[in-house]
Each structure stands twice: as structure tokens, then as C-alpha cells.
Amino acid sequence: MKVIRDALVVAALAMSLSAPAWPQTEQGLNMREIMLSVIAPMTNKIWAASDIQTDSQWLELEQAAMTVLAASTLIGQGGPDGAYASQAQNEDWQAFTAGMMQAARSALRAIANHDETALFNAGNDELYPPCENCHQVYLPR
């Protein structure tokens, strides 16, 4: 039995060494893709939240706020592909990103407390302004 187990371990190691690395694409996500496919749907969930009645609804909102927080980190670094790395060094870019991250944290606190009013305030008073202000400065027209 030990011989079979050892053989399986050796086979698994050999397969893992010969397996290709994590699949690479020619190009990662760009800022537009992050904004349209990650940030917009998640912020829209936060902004539209009302009459939350179930744990699954709260969980969905928690996931949305966590996603906004994680994506904000990418944005703060100039996007996942680094295309905005030089702009990301600007004080206003960093302020907009920090505002987004703080708003996401406020939303997470409100969600943890099942506090719809605090969630509304986090979304509208804290999250919307840095998003809109950043778009005014950096969104290509």
C-alpha cells in the first residue's frame, strides 16, 4: 500500500512539474474592462440596495463591497495592465482611489451591522463623489 501511495505522490509531482503555468493571455484586463465589468456592476448593487430582508441579500452586498475594495487597489496602481501608472502617481488619483476604498470599508461596516441607512450613506455620500470626480478628470470622452 505504501508503494502505491508513494508512486501516486511521485506521479502527482511529475504532473505538476510538467503542467503549464497559470494560463496567460496576451493582454490582461485594461482599466475600461475593470470599470465596466467589475466596478460598475458592484457599485450599482450598493447604490440600488434597499429593503434588504435576507442573509443572502446581505451576503451579495458584502461581496459587492469587497469587490469594489479589491478593484480599487488595482485602480490605485494604475490599472491591472499598468496603462494608467503615470496618472496613478497624481495626488487627485490617489485621493479618488482612497475615497473609493474608504467608502467600500464604510459599506462593509454597514453591511456587517445590517444597517440600511448607513449603507445608503456609504454608497451615496462616500462612494459616489470620488467615482464621479475621478470620471470628470480622467474618463476619456
- Which sign, positive or negative, has the C-alpha torsion 121, 123, 124, 130? positive
Which fold is adopted by the domain 27-138?
Answer: Four Helix Bundle (Hemerythrin (Met), subunit A) (1.20.120)
| pLDDT value for 1 | 54
98-121: pLDDT as tens digits: 999 999 999 999 999 999 999 999
What is the pLDDT tens value at each position of the chain, 141 positions in all? Answer: 555 544 444 444 444 444 444 444 456 788 888 999 999 999 999 999 999 999 999 999 999 999 999 999 999 999 888 889 999 999 999 999 999 999 999 999 999 999 999 999 999 999 999 999 999 998 867
* Structure confidence at residue 2 (pLDDT): 54
Q: Where are the domains of the chain?
A: 27-138
Could you write out the DSSP letters of every residue in 7-53? Answer: HHHHHHHHHHHHSPPSP--SS---HHHHIIIIIHHHHHHHHH--S--
- pTM of this structure: 0.78
- At residue 4, the pLDDT reads 52
What is the structure's pLDDT at 26?
A: 55
Residue identified by cell 496576451 is: 26
Distance CA 112, CA 107 (A): 9
Q: Which three cell numbers stand for residue 42?
A: 458592484
